[in-house]
Amino acid sequence: MSTPEGVSGGVEDGVFDEEALEYARIAFARPVAFMMGAAAIDGLPAPDLPEVAFAGRSNVGKSSLINALVGQKHLARASNEPGRTREVNFFVLEERLRLVDLPGYGFARASKTATSQFQNLGRAYLRGRPNLKRVYLLIDARHGLKAVDGEALDALDLAAVSYQIVLTKVDKLKAPEIAPLVAATLKAISKRPAAFPRVLATSSEKGGGMPELRAEIIAATTV
């Protein structure tokens, strides 16, 4: 996904300029639709568009975040049953960019065999997707990084895929708690080889952090 001539997409000290934020807002206001769900690695679409993927524990709010990013309430289907997403789901933004919802991990209500099968699908996607520009690993701000998230971080480092931590549900915290949590999370991943050195704090419900996340995605997919 490329930016037009004259748009800087500038970011300094982790803060995007107004031009970059506005360009990202317009980009994500374009038509977006569910494309397909793939239950096996050989069912993935051709790698002909840049992709960014969203990963996280089963109850972290991936569907809500994707919906908030594109300004639609029901594009990605949220479920009250953790672990329901057992396919790699693709959403296409005006034939320019794909948003990819990976199977959740941690609390899936499925047999061990089924759980292993759809989580292995996510790992296979990470290892074999040449057009994957970045993974956004969602972490519930109320709980922070847990041991099960460490397994995901290890898998991303092993796959050598650039990934960025996105804290979700920060509206559930008190305002003074957010900055220390961001700093602690950044410190926890500082020595991980594939971790992107910025942590985002977001709220799908209130819209906090969404302009910056959109701008991060545009920057990651700009060629």
Radius of gyration of the chain (CA): 16
Task: Give the model's confidence band at 159: pLDDT under 50 very low, under 70 low, under 90 confident, else very high.
Answer: confident
The answer to whether position 82 is within a domain reads yes
Burial 148-162, CB ≥16 within 10 A → b, else e: ebeebbebbeebebb
- For residue 81, what pLDDT is reported? 46
Q: What is the CATH number of the domain that holds 81?
A: 3.40.50.300
Interval 117-142: pLDDT, tens: 446 777 888 888 999 999 999 999 99
Q: Taking the CB of residue 8, how many other CB atoms lie within 10 A of it? A: 11
Question: Is residue 101 situated within a structural domain?
Answer: yes
Q: Which residues constitute the domain of residue 167? A: 35-209
Report the relative pairing of strands 11-12 and 15-16 from DSSP bridges. antiparallel
At residue 87, does pLDDT exceed 90? no
- For the stretch 179-200, pLDDT in tens is 999 999 999 999 999 999 999 9
Element (H, E) at 107: none
Q: Is 14 inside any structural domain?
A: no
Residue 12: inside a domain, yes or no? no
pLDDT at 114: 37
3-7, 117-121, 196-200, 204-208: lowest mean pLDDT where?
3-7
For residue 4, what are the contacts with CB-CB under 8 A and spacing of at least 6?
none
What is the structure's pLDDT at 1?
58
Domain total in the chain: 1
Domain for residue 223, yes or no? Answer: no
Can you name the residues that pair with 107 across neighbouring β-strands? Answer: none
Question: What was the pLDDT predicted at 124?
Answer: 83
Residue 220 lies in a domain: no
- C-alpha to C-alpha distance for 189 and 199, rounded to whole angstroms: 10
Tell me what pLDDT residue 66 has: 96
Residues in the chain: 223
Is 133 inside any structural domain?
Answer: yes
Question: Is residue 107 pLDDT above 50, yes or no?
Answer: no
Let me know if residue 222 belongs to a domain.
Answer: no
